[in-house]
Amino acid sequence: MKHLVSINQLSAEQIIRILDRAALFEKNPNQRLLEGKVVATLFFEPSTRTRLSFETAVNRLSGRVIGFSDAATSSSSKGESLKDTISMVANYADVIVMRHFLEGAALYASELDRVPIVNAGDGANQHPSQTLLDLYSIRKTQGQLEGRTIALVGDLKYGRTVHSLIVGMAHFCPRFIFVSPPELRMPEECKDFCRQHDIPFTETSDFSPEVIQGVDILYMTRVQRERFVDLEEYERVKNVYVLNREMLTGCRDNLRILHPLPRVGEIALDVDDTPQAYYIQQAQNGLYTRQSILCEVLG
């Protein structure tokens, strides 16, 4: 694997290999495997966990990090093209981890074929490293990836993490419930993907007790304010679902709540100390998974 641009490029075997290696990093995150390597993190869009976990991954593997976390301080604010920025940074770094607001930006950068590109999110399209950490978290909490029933809740239209997660889970016989307001439904192409791969799914706008009681994983998401053209529409849908502790009554013993974070109100604070809450550990798993991804692309 030279680049990690899309989760679609990975076979089940490759996914399992990345997760198995991540499990070794969980046991011992401090290894000198990236000594002498420079990793660039180019974030044209805001990030906390993704950037910091990639950078921690490099630091724990004894590599060095360069980059920017605010495009306003980079030459893109002067009008530099993505092509020039990537070509330049490829002169300095051994791998580029990039997040961009344009869908397809990471693919475009990978086609320049200078150094490995890791997609840390491109617009509403994909977020493959998040999916790998989500898979890691599902396997760890459920004991297996196979045969899980997963509710994806919230902004299924613009949420890139759910788009990638469907594809990543496709190898492991999942069943999905898509819970969203009508305005934020799962895109047709993602539903077509499910149909083509015989993945059963249902769609509803009712975040009901039956949904919560019938699933193994409750994957909550934030309404993606930055992707709305019409901010009045955002105001109408922003608080549409709020999961609270009481709603977990009668849930399966193995139910775990995931969220890629940041949350902006869709999980009430009283959920945090329930046995089902897993989103903070999930973010921790991001460190080990990203260590594994970096080792994979750097061969």
The C-alpha atoms of residue 119 and residue 125 are separated, in whole angstroms, by 10
Beta-carbon-side half-sphere exposure of residue 197 (alpha carbons within 13 Å): 20
The C-alpha atoms of residue 154 and residue 221 are separated, in whole angstroms, by 5
Residues in CB range of 67: below 8 A, 6 or more apart: 39, 40, 41, 42, 43, 89, 97
Q: Which is nearer to ligand NCD, 175 or 259 (CB)?
A: 259
The C-alpha atoms of residue 79 and residue 131 are separated, in whole angstroms, by 32
List, edge to edge, every strand of the sheet that includes 256-258: 201-204, 175-179, 149-153, 217-220, 256-258
Q: Which is nearer to ligand NCD, 212 or 261 (CB)?
A: 261
Smallest distance, ligand NCD to C-beta of residue 60, A: 19
Please identify which of the residues 3, 51, 60, 127 carries the catalytic annotation: 127
Residue 154 Ramachandran class (φ > 0 left, ψ -120 to 50 alpha, else beta): left
Using CB atoms within 10 A of its CB, is residue 286 exposed (0-12), middle (13-18) or buried (19+)? buried
Q: Which is nearer to ligand NCD, 31 or 47 (CB)?
A: 47
Smallest distance, ligand NCD to C-beta of residue 91, A: 28
The C-alpha atoms of residue 256 and residue 275 are separated, in whole angstroms, by 8
The C-alpha atoms of residue 226 and residue 273 are separated, in whole angstroms, by 30
Pairing of strands 149-153, 217-220: parallel
Q: Which is nearer to ligand NCD, 63 or 121 (CB)?
A: 121
Smallest distance, ligand NCD to C-beta of residue 253, A: 27
- Look up 49 and say whether it is catalytic: yes
- Look up 56 and say whether it is catalytic: no
Please identify which of the residues 3, 51, 60, 99 carries the catalytic annotation: 99
Please identify which of the residues 3, 41, 50, 85 carries the catalytic annotation: 50
Smallest distance, ligand NCD to C-beta of residue 161, A: 5
- Look up 249 and say whether it is catalytic: no
Q: Give me the residues that bind ligand NCD (CB under 6 A), please.
A: 49-50, 121, 127, 130, 160-161, 222, 224, 260-261
Q: Which is nearer to ligand NCD, 63 or 128 (CB)?
A: 128
E strands, 102-213, where?
117-122, 149-153, 175-179, 201-204
Smallest distance, ligand NCD to C-beta of residue 281, A: 14
* Residues noted as catalytic: 49-50, 78, 99, 127
